[in-house]
Amino acid sequence: MRTFEIDTDYTRALARDLDAQAQPQPHHLPVLPGGPLGDFCSALAAAFHNLTARDNQLRADFAYLADTAVATSNAAESADATSATACASLLGGS
């Protein structure tokens, strides 16, 4: 059996990086010409809006994963401290 190990400092560093990537990024569609290119430009604008919506959802997912990573690190440290205290008291330590 292997002991479960988690490097909480590294996990938090990764969570900070992930959170930085989760920050909104402005996307601006340039003004598109009309006329004979109107249908193409309409399809291009629709694709751009779909990509922007997906990008926003991915960034929200990144933020959620970053929050979960920090919460997991905190819970692991708390459980470890509680277990260590319980073991110490069973063994007669303080």
Question: 62, 32, 63, 25: which is closest to 47 by C-alpha?
Answer: 32
pLDDT at 94: 54
Domain definitions of the chain by residue range: 38-69
For residues 17-36, give the mean pLDDT.
Answer: 87
The structure's pTM equals 0.72
**pLDDT tier at 84, thresholds 50, 70, 90:** confident
For 59, residues 6+ apart whose C-beta sits below 8 A from its C-beta are 21, 22, 23, 24, 25
pLDDT at residue 18 tops 70 = yes
Q: CA 54 to CA 57: how far, in whole Å?
A: 5
**pLDDT tier at 93, thresholds 50, 70, 90:** low
